[in-house]
Amino acid sequence: MSVPVPPSLPTRQRLSEVRYEIRGELARRAGELEAQGRKLIKLNIGNPGSFGFRAPAHLQHAIADDMDRTDPYTHQQGLPAAREAIAAAYARRGMPDAHADRVFVGNGVSELIDMALRALLNPGDEVLVPSPDYPLWSAATILNDGRPVYYRCRPEDGFAPDPNEMETLISSRTRAIVLINPNNPSGASYPRELLERIVAIARKHNLLLLVDEIYDQILYDGAVFEPVAPLAGDHPCLTFSGLSKVHRACGWRVGWGLLSGDGARVAELRAAMDLLSALRLCANVPGQLAIDAAVNGPDTISPLCAPGGRLYETRKAVIAACNASEHLQLVAPAGALYAFPAVIGDAALGFDDHHFALQLMEEEGVLVVPGSSFNVPYHNHFRVTLLPDAATITDVFARIDRLLARRAEQAGKVVPLTKRNAVA
């Protein structure tokens, strides 16, 4: 007699709405190919340590020298000295109300984004999110029972949003505006005038500004970074950054958020975040020992972004490869660690970015992220990281161009239906 198979355990239904292809199906397939002995160039994650970068030595020493102090839990908002260092660094930028008691240290910015949205949203509340976005913002909104409402950052506009269009998306349920500056995946860096207009919209509609500035010092060719909090003044603003990108210490899982604005207006949100911080006890303590050295120590990222620096030269190679290709078009990234090329011409006929990414991995040994993973309505983009050296990225784009040339040739052999009718 057969034994009935128990039903599978159901999971949360809203997970079906969440996308995170950066570490999703394609990455799992990459693992299978590597298990078979295939060598892949994986450009799906902005993970400096995987490409030979190391956290600066003075940050490593800051942890090693005081490691014997890291055994106990610390305050739920973070080590007092670390929070004081963050507050002082942001006060020098002109952030209003930059006090240690408004600083929250988390296990990376990702945890703090989730915590902030959990503190803010009631079921059905809406958050304005850029398209393209870093998909964690959409996922965290959905999983905290909110609804992401996308404002377009179109390639033809240099991936800059239109504030007038943004304002039309605001409803009675809108609670916040998300800004990712410099942007992941596009590399756009927003000018002061644009940010001032967005701040004015947030002020007019009493919306919290949620500002992801994790790439704030990664800039190219004279691009200027404008922090939002000084422009917001007494208006509520929550600014996020950390050690992962500028300081190349992703695995340390150290991020921070600073809540600025009028004290009475942010008091309830501050208390809610403090409660949520306490429920998870505290963030990783050893990594917090490096915060003071990071925010008050020497600048180690600018040389990498200047001519001759590794990030600059890789970006230069990507731009050159796209300019030389009849199949690619690129808005040159002004900041961050990514490029977001578009496929154009015959190669774009019938193009599906997910299928292309799978084909590129299977046939050419390169893993990229489909552009639609970043919550855009079009399917002809893909994202690569700028972390490999220039020679590697030049080889990567030669492989991409080979595949696109094959696609273009195949598309040219397909007689369009209108022509078939004409011949008939």
Residues 176 and 264 in one domain: yes
Q: What percent of the chain has pLDDT over 70?
A: 96
Domain boundary among 234, 266, 296: 296
Supply the pLDDT for residue 22: 64
Tell me the per-residue pLDDT of 75-130, one tens digit each, with 9 for 90 and over: 999 999 999 999 999 999 999 889 999 999 999 999 999 999 999 999 999 999 99
pLDDT at 374 over 90: yes
Which pLDDT band, with edges at 50, 70 and 90, does 23 fall under?
A: low
Residues 373 and 343 in one domain: yes
Which pLDDT band, with edges at 50, 70 and 90, does 175 fall under?
A: very high
Tell me the per-residue pLDDT of 308-320, one tens digit each, with 9 for 90 and over: 999 999 999 999 9
Tell me the per-residue pLDDT of 215-233, one tens digit each, with 9 for 90 and over: 999 999 999 999 999 999 9
Residues 186 and 131 in one domain: yes
Domain membership of residue 4 (yes or no) is no
Tell me the per-residue pLDDT of 125-160, one tens digit each, with 9 for 90 and over: 999 999 999 999 999 999 999 999 999 999 999 999
CATH value at residue 262: 3.40.640.10
Q: Which residue range(s) make up the domain with 365?
A: 13-53+303-412
pLDDT at 270 over 60: yes
Supply the pLDDT for residue 384: 96
Of the listed ranges 32-46, 208-222, 232-246, 379-393, the one predicted with least confidence: 32-46
Supply the pLDDT for residue 97: 86
Domain membership of residue 378 (yes or no) is yes
Supply the pLDDT for residue 5: 80
Residues 84 and 203 in one domain: yes
Which pLDDT band, with edges at 50, 70 and 90, does 165 fall under?
A: very high
Tell me the per-residue pLDDT of 237-255, one tens digit each, with 9 for 90 and over: 999 999 999 999 999 999 9
Question: What's the whole-model pTM score?
Answer: 0.91
Supply the pLDDT for residue 1: 64
Residues 265 and 335 in one domain: no
Report the 3 state secondary structure along the chain: CCCCCCCCCCCCHHHHHCCCHHHCHHHHHHHHHHHCCCCCEECCCCCHHHHCCCCCHHHHHHHHHCHHHCCCCCCCCCCHHHHHHHHHHHHHCCCCCCCHHHEEEECHHHHHHHHHHHHHCCCCCEEEEEECCCHHHHHHHHHCCCEEEEEEECHHHCCCECHHHHHHCCCCCEEEEEEECCCCCCCCCCCHHHHHHHHHHHHHHCCEEEEECCCCCCECCCCCCCCCHHHHCCCCEEEEEECCCCCCCHHHCCEEEEEECCHHHHHHHHHHHHHHHHHCCCCCHHHHCCHHHHHHCCCCCHHHHCCCCHHHHHHHHHHHHHHHCCCEECCCCCECCEECCEECHHHHCCCCHHHHHHHHHHHHCEECEEHHHHCCCCCCEEEEECCCCHHHHHHHHHHHHHHHHHHHHHHHHCCCHHHHHHHC
Residues 185 and 112 in one domain: yes
Domain membership of residue 308 (yes or no) is yes
Mean pLDDT (the chain) is 92
Report how many domains make up the chain: 2
Residues 205 and 273 in one domain: yes
Domain boundary among 275, 296, 317: 296
Domain boundary among 238, 264, 296: 296
Residues 277 and 140 in one domain: yes
Residues 111 and 260 in one domain: yes
